Structure formats: structure tokens, C-alpha cells
Amino acid sequence: MPFEQLDAKADTKQTQPGLNITDIQDFTPPSKSANPATQESSATPASDQPFDVAQAKQTSTKTVYLDVGHCTSAEKDPFTGKVDQGFVTKDYTECQLNTAVGKMVARNLIDAGFQVIPTWNPFSEQKPPPVPKQEDLARRNAVVNNDISKYCDDSIYLSIHHDMDNSKKGGQCVYIADNKWDQAMPLAKSIQGSAWQVRERANVSQCINSDTTTQNGQLKGLRGVNAVGVLVEAANAMNPQDRALMSSPSHLAREARTISQGVINYFKLQPGKDRPHPACRRSLG
């Protein structure tokens, strides 16, 4: 199925009770107090209460910094000479997959009461001005760090990707910064604990990987933000089953739903006991 059809079908959910898609599309950061909130709120609204996006975006003290990978760099692939879109198949690019899943994750989490701040706006038809990859990573990280510096919310960083893993094993893996290993592990376990399928990898429990095992040796998105974070490789295009599933809107929705559930489960953990306090709050004492 051509990806244009896939994206259109994955994007058919335009409105639902209490959800204003126009508000989500704008992604204008809400005005909020610069004083960090100290009380913990439930991640999931009562099922019989309509969800008001505007109110949740103004009052939520739980923030997800959402990063959709391989869409905003002007760097050209050395092999193809084309602008980086991640991997490319005859039916879709990685950027298209990441965007489709990222948009659904954003909707799911906003609907669950979280504030979602994207490192760039995947709902907008206009992407950020093209810049080299390192500049692109720096400006995306700056969105996260500037907001944390100002508001110090209870927050995480979530980067959405798909990959081409030569192991040809199917399923989902995550990567965390090696220098934040202990702090990021509860989030990684929550994400993988709800994964649609965990990829098998020898000697790697739950396919939770250090960024030192990547081709670059470290992931600057994970290391450059002042937040606990994970990079999710939601499926493997080198696996025949995964590759076929990536053309299915229902499968992409499943990926988004299970990733979102992992985030919700993480925020249900007790800060300071089962998961770390945000770094900015630890520094405040």
C-alpha cells in the first residue's frame, strides 16, 4: 500500500469527545507557572469525565518531550545523495512511519492528560528550515532544555524511530544513554513492558540497549537533553513480518498505543522510589 494511503487512514481520527485537534495541530506551548509543581496528579483521567485539552495543557505537571526522528535534517545520505529520511523502501520512508506513529502517540498522551511538547511540529505541513544534522539535533535538544530550564516539569524525552536491523529479528527495541543508564532504566522497562513485541537480542534483556552499541557510539538526542529519555526503534524493516506490518495503519496505531501505555505506566511509578525525580528538581534540592 502506498504510504500516502496509509498516512491518510492513520490520520482519520479528527475529533473525539473533549479533544480539539486544531489545538493539537498548533502545538503552541501553554502558559504555565515557572514554579515547579510539587504535587503528583493521575496520568489517566476518570473514564466518565470528558477530557479538556486546553485545561490539561495548562495544568498538567507531567510533560512528554516528543521527538520524531529522521525528518528535519538537510544532511544528505552519502549513498543515495538524498536528504536524510531514515531508511527508504518502495512503500514508505522511515520519516513517514515515525511521523504517523508520533502523531498518534501525541494524541494518545494528550488525551490521557499529559502535556506534549514536540521538538518540531509533526502536525504542521511546514517543517523547520533545513540545516545540517548536528545543527538539527542541537535545535531539537534546545526545545527540550529551554522548557525544562523554565518550568522544571515532571518530564521525559521520547524519540520515535524504526530501523533496519541486520539481525532480521522482529519487534521493538529501545536505547538509553549509557551515562544515564540507571536513571533511564525504569522508563525503558515501562516502554518495553508494554511493547507490541519485544525484539530478541542475545544477551540483551528486553532489548534495552546502551547508546554505545549504536553505529555512532552515542546518541546526542538522548545525551543532550536534561531529562530521562529513551529512543524507541518500534519495528525492524529487515524482518519480513515487521516490514509488511509497517504498511498497516492498524499496526502503526498498535505501536503508538503500546508506546503510550508504557509512558503512562512509567508516570504511575513513585518518584524517588521506583523512578527518579526530574534532574532539575534534584538539583533544586
For residue range 267-276, list pLDDT tens digits in order. 999 999 999 9
Taking every pair of Cα atoms in the chain, the longest distance, rounded to a whole number of angstroms, is: 53
Give the domain 3-28+44-284 fold: Aminopeptidase (3.40.630)
Lowest mean pLDDT among 40-54, 106-120, 254-268: 40-54
Cβ atoms 228, 156 nearer than 8 A: yes
CA 73 to CA 83: how far, in whole Å?
7
How far is residue 135's CA from residue 27's CA, in Å, rounded to a whole number?
A: 22
Q: Among the ranges 42-46, 148-152, 172-176, 215-219, which has the highest mean pLDDT value?
A: 172-176
Confidence of residue 285 (pLDDT cuts 50, 70, 90): very low
193-196: which pairs have CB atoms within 8 A and are 24 or more residues apart? 193/262, 193/265, 194/258, 194/259, 194/261, 194/262, 194/265, 195/171, 195/258, 195/259, 195/262, 196/171, 196/172, 196/234, 196/251, 196/254, 196/255, 196/258
Lowest mean pLDDT among 55-64, 118-127, 194-203: 55-64
Q: Which residues are bridge partners to 176 per DSSP?
A: 210
- Residue with more model confidence, 48 or 246: 246
What proportion of the chain, given as a percentage, has pLDDT over 90?
66
Q: Name the grid cell of 22.
A: 486544531
Residue 26 φ/ψ, nearest 5 degrees: -65, -40
Distance CA 50, CA 158 (A): 26
Q: How far apart are CA 200 and CA 171, in angstroms?
A: 8
Kindly tell me the burial class for residue 250, based on how many C-beta atoms sit within 10 Å of its own C-beta (0-12, 13-18, 19 or more): exposed
The torsion of the CA quartet 132, 136, 139, 144, rounded to 10 degrees, works out to -160
What pLDDT, on the 0 to 100 scale, is given for residue 79?
63
Q: Give tens-digit pLDDT for 200-243.
A: 999 999 999 999 999 888 999 999 999 999 999 999 999 999 99
pLDDT recorded at residue 69: 94
Task: Inform me whether the pLDDT recorded for 20 exceeds 60.
Answer: no
82 or 134: whose pLDDT is higher? 134
Buried b (16+ CB within 10 A) or exposed e, 224-249: bbbbbbbbbbbbbbbbeebbebbbeb
pLDDT > 80? residue 125: yes
pLDDT reading at 49 higher than 90: no
Residue 151 reports pLDDT greater than 80: yes
- What pLDDT, on a 0 to 100 scale, did the predictor assign at position 78? 66
The answer on pLDDT for 22 being more than 60 is no
**pLDDT of 222:** 97
Domain ranges of the chain: 3-28+44-284
Q: How far is Cα of residue 203 from the mean position of the Cα atoms in its chain?
A: 26
